[in-house]
Amino acid sequence: MIDRDATFERAELSTGLPRATALEELVSERPESPWRLTGRRFLRHRLAVVSAVFLLALFLVALLAPWIAPYDPNAIDLQLAQFGRPAEPSLAHPMGSDQVGRDLLSRLIYGSRVSLAVGFLATGISIMVGAALGAIAGYLGRWVDMAIMRLADLLLAFPPLLFLMGVLAGFRSPTILIISAAIGVIGWMNVARLVRGEFLTLRTREYAEAARAIGVPTWAIIFRELLPNAMGPIIVAATLSIPAAILTESTLSFLGFGIQPPTASWGNMLQNAFTYLRDYRAWWMGFYPGLMIALTVLAFNFVGDGLRDALDPRSRID
């Protein structure tokens, strides 16, 4: 039996209307849309919400960098860094300076642009390539599937970091776009496999059959009819690939193959810090950029986790 009173109670509580009207409201209410349901589930994930707020703030900082940064990130101040000695944190320079007196807080603020841009661009590229190729391979099957999956095998045989170092060494000063494209090219295979797997079952569904029967063009079946149904796993893969791309970019820049100085990125700030950490005990040069990478990646991971739970509550293994 349905517990009528409890239903009344809930109706009253959730709408704040008198009982009878409230019940009517509840009954007549249309079923909640999947996206709103997802949003509600996400909001329940406290860490994910905090992380989302943090990332939003970081976005604003990156966007408004020229107005927020206290100094020009590339302005050299030899008065501040006497004899090439990095200046310790002070009131005027809360995160200290590097060996030529550049303000590290300002460089950190500008560096956020690189990390966020690469994170999103690289993910965008790898997800689009991976989803498209995976969908085509899974739907068409046969030799197309064969060719795409063999291409994936070929790229999977490369050690990714070495591949990226080799590609980027070909550019005197790789831009954000070049770095993102390289990361995307070596990173689409897992998404392709995922989407291909989804499509192997999706193509046998009745609505795919129906679409074929009424003569919908193949590309429209793949991308308009079926792809939206694979969106859940794609979104989860995307949110988890952003932090991975950010880590990869910072590693590349740290090794000297990514963003080149004087442009500030968190990775090349750490590369620059390496020597001074050792010889001048300039801990502030190495501490803050790494902390920012860690916090940003952590936040993206939490958001990704929250989204995964929200989009597919069954996938909650942990």
Partner 1 sequence: MTAYIVRRLLWMIPLLVGVSIITFAMLKRIPGDPVTVMLLESRSSGRVITEADRERLRKQYGLDKPAYLQYFDWLGEVLRGNLGTSIRMKQPVTEVIKQRLPNTMKLAGVSLVITLAIALPLGILSAVRQYSWLDYVLTAFNFVGISIPQFWLALMLLYLFAVEIQLLPVRGMRSPYVEPGFWNHLVDTVTHYILPVTSVTLASLAGYMRYQRAAMLEVIRQDYIRTARAKGLPEHVVILKHAWRNALIPIITLLGYVLVILVEGSIVVEAIFSWPGMGLLAVDSLQQRDYPVVMAIVMLSAVLIMIGTLLSDILYAIVDPRVRYD
The reply to whether 243 sits near partner 1 by the rule CB under 8 A is: yes
Residues 6+ apart with CB under 8 A from 75: 102, 103
CB closer to partner 1 out of 30 and 150: 150
Residue selected from 62, 87, 136, 167 as contacting partner 1 according to rule CB under 8 A: 167
CB of 15 to partner 1, least distance (A): 34
- Six token digits for residue 23: 């019940």
Show contacts with partner 1 in window 253-292 (CB under 8 A): 254-257, 270, 273-274, 277-278, 281, 283, 286-287, 289-290
Q: Which of 284, 287, 289, 222 is nearest to 250 (CA)?
A: 289
Tell me the two tokens of residue 15.
């709408």
* Residue type, position 95, single letter: M
Task: Name the DSSP class of 225.
Answer: I
Copy the structure tokens of residue 96. Answer: 């200290």
Establish if 302 lies at the interface with partner 1 (CB under 8 A).
Answer: yes
> Quick check: 247 binds partner 1 (CB under 8 A)?
yes
| Dist. CA 47–CA 217, nearest whole Å | 44
Backbone angles phi, psi at 97, to 5 degrees: -135, 170
Range in contact with partner 1 (rule: CB under 8 A) among 30-38, 93-101, 102-110, 249-257: 249-257
Minimum distance from CB of 287 to partner 1 (Å)? 7
| 11 contacts 23 by C-beta, under 8 angstroms | yes
Residues 127-166 that bind partner 1 (CB under 8 A): 153-154, 156-163, 165-166
Q: How far apart are CA 78 and CA 268, in angstroms?
A: 21
d(Cα 143, Cα 71) in Å, to the nearest integer? Answer: 58
The CB-of-243 to partner 1 minimum distance in angstroms stands at 7
Nearest approach, Cβ of 155 to partner 1 (angstroms)?
Answer: 9
What is the size of the binding site for partner 1 (CB under 8 A)?
Answer: 45
Residues that bind partner 1 (CB under 8 A): 153-154, 156-163, 165-167, 169-170, 172, 243, 247, 250-251, 254-257, 270, 273-274, 277-278, 281, 283, 286-287, 289-290, 293-295, 297-298, 301-302, 305, 317-318
